[in-house]
Chain A
Amino acid sequence: MTGAGSEGRASGTCSAHSAHGARGERGADNGILLQLRGVSKRFGGLRAVDAFDLDVREGSITSLIGPNGAGKTTVFNLITGIYRPDEGRITFAGRELVGKLPHQVAEAGIARTFQTLRLFENLTCFENVLAGQHCRGRAGVAASIFRTAGQRREEERMRSEAERCLRQMGLWGCRDELARNLPYGNRRRLEIARALATRPRLLILDEPAGGLNEEETAGLMDLIEEIRGSGITVFLIEHDMQVVMGVSDLVAVMDNGQKISEGTPEEVQQDPRVVEAYLGTEDDTDEMEEADKMGESNESSMSETEQIGKTGNAGCGGDRDAGRVRTDWHEPA
């Protein structure tokens, strides 16, 4: 069914995001999709996140940056329901998120990727992406055993949606591969495809460029723009300043659990507090490097990460445009 149904979607860019039905109707208050107000989280004595405020505008690309250990991932985990904030409110499209379980957050329209990839390693790519569609289906045990008409329709819809996401990421060629057999760059893409399959309004990316080489990073930037173009708001944590400064509409800077600056990429780069946070006080070379990257020097000095990216680059037909997809993969004619 999947093979036959949707040749029209084969093109790499795939602007056919048409189906995000609900988005238009329930617009958020004054264009703010996600709002954090006074959010705090303590781990023992450590204030990981401290009275954190943030607005993510609908249709924007917003970045959260900061030195290691600043609490960025904790913020993500608070939004997605993995942690519960000690104080503060988080609203998404006007609805309270605090107290919701992770799967309810996903159902509400927030999808995420993980800093350390968390794919379903022993499932195929297609099954990985189908998992994203789970919360958009209803079929129960009886319907699945008896293959009711409704269940079959639903299954077909899920599969064509999964196919769309895979094609968009240029992964249709390796749909029957186990996720663990994919090269690194494609694993990153697969995670994004899986997140997109939940049909989110907000996509949260946790260091999507981590471990990618320069070429792949450029591809990622296009991809993020493209996702935004399809009407999905993007919120990312990223260390690669080339990506952050290249795609973001708004950048928030975090240090020690607090927001120290916010603004357009240009504003943030000139903020002395940001430079100070990145430079640190002592001669910590790691942080110096970070600060270097903060500057305009875009000849990103990735060393070992680049290596990983390079090895991962040769792989199954992961190219975005379908024309370059390797032909030895079984493509339905």
Chain B
Amino acid sequence: MALLRLGPGPAPGRRRSVSGVSGVSGVSGLVGRYSAWAVGAVAVAAMVFPMVVSDYWIDVAVFWGIYVLLGLSLNIIVGEVGLFDMGHMAFFAIGSYTTAILSGRFGISLWLLLPLSGIVAGLAGYVLARPIIHLRGDYLLIVTIGLNEMIRISLLNNPWGLTGGPNGIIMLDQFRIFGLVIQKPMHFYYLVWACVAASMFALVRLQRSRIGRAWNCIREDEVAAEAMGIDVRSAKLLAFTLGAGLAGATGTIFAAKLVVISPESFTFMESVILFCIVVLGGMGSIPGVVLGSAAMLVLPEILRNFAQYRMLFFGAAMALMMIFRPQGLWPSKRWTTKLQEGESE
């Protein structure tokens, strides 16, 4: 009977995931082939979704949104530039803790902390990546795993009494808009998905710019990219900094949502899940991230009813994916001049 109850739950979620993507493309004005009314319908569906499902599924959608944001941030590094970063949770942790500490000690508004945490995490990303950015492939991967653990263990050790050790920090403040405190799952739902929409808009534009193209060139062939006048080192550092920054800003929302921030949220396993989101969705594909995080987060929730077989199903799905669709759920499409002609009309 649990199955029956769940019937309507996941369905709207899934529908939204696919069409939410076309919505974003439409918003950025880059893909002409999606008709405007379809985009509108999707937007409406996304708006209505939390009004028709239980709080439980809204919460699932909130965490889905948080993982989409994280996936988007990691996609800059892994998908666009091809740098293997399997310690991305470190920057998420830095953002979350920055928010929790600054909010708790100085009472700074969360709206201010959102960009501030992003900047702090971005700076950390820059400083940490600088000495290791020249490493390639699996070498970089291993160092980033190390970074993740270093940050997590540092947080556990409660440096200067700032992080609260294994117990973490309790957030007292919340986002407020004109006296409305963002506390209910529905409020968070709108907040998170508005951030997702804004990030996607920015990232699609970045992807289709000189900078995004340079990133892709580096992913394809570093030596040729350099010979064509692309400053490979700076471009990689830029990607790392932006990716870390976006993850850090997401940390603010996460801290507000979770209320208690502790090191156990930022384990290596979470970094692996993030990495899987990007690879599963399709490297460098922004819609792919939405699908990938749905697969990694929403699917296990749906499969919860199968109790102990859940992970088995999940593992099998992953294995089948890698065999039959190694390019990802929604492989990134290259920009073409035909698309561009559609855009200018």
| Chain A residues close to B by CB (< 8 Å) | 1-4, 80, 82, 101-103, 106-107, 111-112, 114, 118-124, 126-127, 130-137, 139-141, 144-145, 147, 151, 154-155, 158, 175-176, 178, 194-195, 198, 330, 332
Does B206 contact A134, Cβ atoms closer than 8 Å? no
Q: For the complex, what is the distance from the CA of A141 to the CA of B209, rounded to whole Å?
A: 9
Q: For the complex, what is the distance from the CA of A233 to the CA of B344, rounded to whole Å?
A: 38
Whether A106 touches B210, Cβ cut-off 8 Å, given contacts A123-B334, A127-B216, A145-B202, is no
B223 CB-CB contact with A under 8 Å: yes
Q: For the complex, what is the distance from the CA of A155 to the CA of B205, rounded to whole Å?
A: 12
Whether A131 touches B202, Cβ cut-off 8 Å, given contacts A120-B221, A123-B220, A140-B211, is no
Does B337 contact A3, Cβ atoms closer than 8 Å? yes
Does A141 contact B228, Cβ atoms closer than 8 Å? no
Please name the 5 residue pairs, one residue from A and one from B, whose CB atoms are nearest each other, closest first. A135-B229, A106-B229, A144-B209, A120-B220, A118-B224
How many chain B residues touch A (Cβ–Cβ < 8 Å)?
33
Q: For the complex, what is the distance from the CA of A167 to the CA of B157, rounded to whole Å?
A: 62
B5 CB-CB contact with A under 8 Å: no
Contact of A127 among B335, B338, B344 (CB under 8 A): B335
Does B205 contact A114, Cβ atoms closer than 8 Å? no
The interface residues of chain B lying within 8 Å CB-to-CB of A107 are 229
Closest to A191 in B: B224
Q: Which of B210, B211, B213 has the most CB of A within 10 A?
A: B210
Contact of B228 among A122, A175, A194 (CB under 8 A): A194
Closest to A121 in B: B220
Does B224 contact A114, Cβ atoms closer than 8 Å? yes
The interface residues of chain B lying within 8 Å CB-to-CB of A1 are 340, 344
Does B334 contact A135, Cβ atoms closer than 8 Å? no
The interface residues of chain A lying within 8 Å CB-to-CB of B211 are 139-141, 144
Does A120 contact B334, Cβ atoms closer than 8 Å? no
User: Shortest beta-carbon distance, A135 to chain B, in Å?
Assistant: 3
Q: For the complex, what is the distance from the CA of A298 to the CA of B227, rounded to whole Å?
A: 34
Q: For the complex, what is the distance from the CA of A195 to the CA of B227, rounded to whole Å?
A: 9
Contact of B210 among A3, A144, A330 (CB under 8 A): A144
Whether A176 touches B206, Cβ cut-off 8 Å, given contacts A103-B231, A132-B228, is no
Q: Which of B50-107 contact A (CB under 8 A)?
A: none
B226 CB-CB contact with A under 8 Å: yes
B230 CB-CB contact with A under 8 Å: yes
User: Shortest beta-carbon distance, B33 to chain A, in Å?
Assistant: 15
The interface residues of chain A lying within 8 Å CB-to-CB of B308 are none
The interface residues of chain B lying within 8 Å CB-to-CB of A102 are 223, 226-227
User: Shortest beta-carbon distance, B208 to chain A, in Å?
Assistant: 8
The interface residues of chain A lying within 8 Å CB-to-CB of B337 are 2-3, 126, 175-176
Does A147 contact B229, Cβ atoms closer than 8 Å? no
Contact of A103 among B202, B212, B221, B226 (CB under 8 A): B226
Closest to B230 in A: A134
The interface residues of chain A lying within 8 Å CB-to-CB of B230 are 103, 131, 134-135
Closest to B209 in A: A144
The interface residues of chain B lying within 8 Å CB-to-CB of A130 are 213
- Interface digits, B300-341 against A, CB 8 Å rule (1 contact, 0 not)? 000000000000000000000000000000000011111011
Query: Beyond the given A103-B226, A127-B213, A141-B238, could you list 19 further A-B residue pairs with CB under 8 A, ordered by the A residue number?
Result: A3-B337, A102-B223, A102-B227, A114-B223, A120-B217, A120-B224, A121-B220, A123-B334, A126-B337, A131-B213, A131-B230, A134-B217, A139-B210, A141-B206, A141-B242, A145-B202, A175-B337, A176-B337, A176-B338
B232 CB-CB contact with A under 8 Å: yes
B237 CB-CB contact with A under 8 Å: no
Q: For the complex, what is the distance from the CA of A332 to the CA of B217, rounded to whole Å?
A: 27
